[in-house]
Amino acid sequence: MADDTPEMISLGAKLKQWAELKPDAPAVSCKDETLTYGQFHRLTNRAARGLAALGVKHGDLVTLGLPNSIDFAVACWGLWKLGATPQPVSFRLPQAELEAIMELAATPIVIADFKMVIDRPLVTLADILAKSDDDSDLPDATAPVSKAPTSGGSTGRPKLILSGQPGVTAAVTPEVGGWRMRTGSIALLPAPLYHNAGFGMMMAAFGQGAHMVILPRFDPEGTLAAIQAHKATWIYLVPTMMTRIWRLPEETRGAYDLSSLETLWHLAAPCPAWLKEAFIHWVGPETVMELYAGTEAQAVTTITGTEWLEHRGSVGRVTVGEMIAVGEDGSVLPPGEVGEIYMRRPAGAPPSYKYLGATAKTLEGGWESLGDIGWFDADGYLYLADRRTDMILVGGSNVYPAEIEAALEEHGAVQSCAVIGIPDDDLGNLIHAIVQTKGECDEAALREHLSGRLVTYKQPRTYEFVDEPLRDDAGKVRRSALREARLKPVA
């Protein structure tokens, strides 16, 4: 039987290929700057030599804490051309968390503009480029690990998730690659590149020969303006961004031409059903795509907008690997019963990741859990409830914060929210809602809003109003950290 596995080449070799095929085509843009594939290839050659001069070697994990920028992409390809691995972190990372990650990664340097004193060289891209002006090609090198994102910072014990995939991509570019990108797609990325999804999509865009347009920061109207200005065909948003776009005045949303858009991906956080339906009707059901997986990538589900309208609330059917719902007794549950979701990589596939600083939760047979709770319908579509660690037990009933947060966010004045459990001697926990609002909104209005949407035991007993956003740039909410802060005794 013929082997149909595609030939793979290093990420550096792929960039060289594009630089030779279309040197003058735009590769990456941010704000008013654009680099062609030829310029990007030469600049990343120079960056690789600068990194080598700073002591970076083949196989190193290198912590990278830059904001969305062309510099971020240049640093990544400079590392890959040496056979090193980018280890992205938030450019807003607290020092204690940074130091824990540096120790796990054993990074020789930190590429960032942090205003802190650390025990490793702290360099910017300008510092790296100052080390060499040689932009000629280097010997080909392949990073043993393509990327090493972080996870678990909300517990105070961050872990690194080392990809099981080396730094390679297909030698022959498919007509349509991963994430429904085409060669020549104009891909708009307003989401943070340090987050795993944004990072992976950046890799895919260059691998496919697309033009990647990076927004330095997300702005609701600015994102619509960028779609129109660049005639973007592809975009990735997290649900928080979708909410903020939808909260714009209708006349503002309608002022921009989005007709170029062929694909809109959302993932990384639960998307409220009302919001998803609004986007499906706005940009079209075949445009809206959703994916569910962990950074660990053992298995994947996907769903189109058309499918979602027939399976409202689902995150799709399994397209890579296997998934099952497991009961508390360890048994595989039938359709319709809620359990913990376990995943398994495709038969014969190598491990998709390796943890540094953590141990996977496993069942016999190669099944692994990320802690998510959900159920399958009779057609094999998966519906998620929440993370087991975030579940709140109220009077013996399981309450999932994401369900309450989705109902709260249907109120037009709610900008962001988080729901946590506060210990109670009688019920075990009381539900506490932390809400960031815009415009006029008070507790009475939110109670009335939820009264027809949630059963009584799911409705918050207490409310707290805050001024700051409750989700980060990647749409993640750290419920455990919010809960810990509110349970800490007052000095």
Query: Structural domains in the chain?
Result: 8-283 (3.40.50.12780), 288-388 (2.30.38.10), 391-487 (3.30.300.30)
Residue 156: its pLDDT value, please? 46
Q: Tens digits of per-residue pLDDT, 261-276?
A: 999 999 988 888 999 9
433, pLDDT greater than 50: yes
Average pLDDT over residues 117-140: 97
Count how many residues are written for the chain: 491
Average pLDDT over residues 345-366: 92
Residue 302: its pLDDT value, please? 98
171, pLDDT greater than 80: yes
Q: Which of 55-59, 61-65, 205-209, 410-414 has the lowest mean pLDDT?
A: 410-414
Q: Which of 8-22, 302-316, 375-389 has the lowest mean pLDDT?
A: 375-389
Residue 3: its pLDDT value, please? 56
Average pLDDT over residues 346-372: 92
Average pLDDT over residues 42-68: 98
86, pLDDT greater than 60: yes
Residue 435: its pLDDT value, please? 96
Average pLDDT over residues 400-422: 91
Average pLDDT over residues 442-452: 93
Instruction: Find, among 267, 321, 260, the residue nearest to 289 by Cα.
Output: 267
pLDDT confidence tier of residue 153, bands split at 50, 70 and 90: very low
Within 10 angstroms of residue 103's Cβ, the number of other Cβ atoms is 13
Helix (H) or strand (E) holding 229, with range, is: helix 220-230
Residue 491: its pLDDT value, please? 47
pLDDT confidence tier of residue 155, bands split at 50, 70 and 90: very low
Residue 426: its pLDDT value, please? 75
Percent of the chain's residues with pLDDT above 90: 77
Q: What gap in Å lies between CA 190 and CA 68, rounded to an integer?
A: 8
Residue 316: its pLDDT value, please? 98
Q: What gap in Å lies between CA 400 and CA 387, rounded to an integer?
A: 8
Give, to the nearest 10 degrees, the angle between helix 11-21 and helix 196-208: 40
Q: Tens digits of per-residue pLDDT, 207-241?
A: 999 999 999 999 999 999 999 999 999 999 998 89
Q: What gap in Å lies between CA 228 and CA 258, rounded to an integer?
A: 6
Q: Tens digits of per-residue pLDDT, 277-321?
A: 999 999 999 999 999 999 999 999 999 999 999 999 999 999 999
373, pLDDT greater than 60: yes
Helix, strand, or coil (residue 22): coil
Work out the mean pLDDT of the chain and round it to a whole number: 93
Q: What gap in Å lies between CA 210 and CA 132, rounded to an integer?
A: 28
Residue 152: its pLDDT value, please? 57
Residue 154: its pLDDT value, please? 39
> 341 and 388 in contact (C-beta within 8 Å)?
no
Average pLDDT over residues 451-479: 88
Average pLDDT over residues 416-445: 90
Helix (H) or strand (E) holding 187, with range, is: strand 186-189
pLDDT confidence tier of residue 2, bands split at 50, 70 and 90: very low
pLDDT confidence tier of residue 94, bands split at 50, 70 and 90: confident
> 270 and 406 in contact (C-beta within 8 Å)?
yes
Average pLDDT over residues 232-257: 94
247, pLDDT greater than 80: yes
Residue 331: its pLDDT value, please? 95
Instruction: Find, among 263, 327, 315, 323, the residue nearest to 297 by Cα.
Output: 323
